Amino acid sequence: MASVMSQLRARELAESWIAAWNNRDLEALMSHYSDEVVFISPTVLTRDDQPSGVIRGQKALREHFSEGLKKFGANVRFTLLDVCAGVNGFAIYYSRETGAKGIGAKLVDASGKIVEVRVHYHAAQQRLAEDAPQAARS
């Protein structure tokens, strides 16, 4: 059944997700996702060389995030800029340590687990969304 997520719940989920990234806590990060998650992002193209831009399943998503954490190490830093609540989900507007700003639109199931994510970066910042550590771009 469709319902509009409260702004408070959307912010709680967003803050927890951001904290998991910033703490480099893969288990906490993965606790947000369902086993059948579908993840669509430009980083799937750049990091995984996956032409569809789509990852299916929590195991594959865990590998994708693990590689990102390894690549960026202590430099990983997400900053929450805003949160919007929607029908059965929410969207997070955030910035990354690279300077890129992105939006992650997340659809959740009845238990609150994320079942679908679509990540979008500003076209002018697409290069910053790619997985090149800050020091390597200087």
DSSP state of 112: S
Residues pairing with 93 in the sheet:
82, 103
Q: What CATH number corresponds to the domain at position 24?
A: 3.10.450.50
Q: Alpha helices, DSSP H only, in 6-87?
A: 7-22, 26-30, 42-48, 58-72
When mean pLDDT is compared across 40-49, 96-105, 117-126, the lowest value belongs to 117-126
For residue 135, is it within any domain?
no
Residue 6 DSSP symbol: P
The verdict on residue 2 lying in a domain is: no
Decide: residue 74, CB within 10 A, 0-12 exposed, 13-18 middle, 19+ buried: exposed
Query: How does pLDDT run across 69-113, given as a tens digit for each residue?
Result: 888 878 889 999 999 999 999 999 999 888 889 999 999 999 999
Confidence at 30, pLDDT banded by 50, 70, 90: very high
Number of domains in the chain: 1
Which stretch of 21-25, 31-35, 41-45, 114-118 has the lowest confidence by average pLDDT?
41-45
* H/E segment holding residue 119: strand 114-121
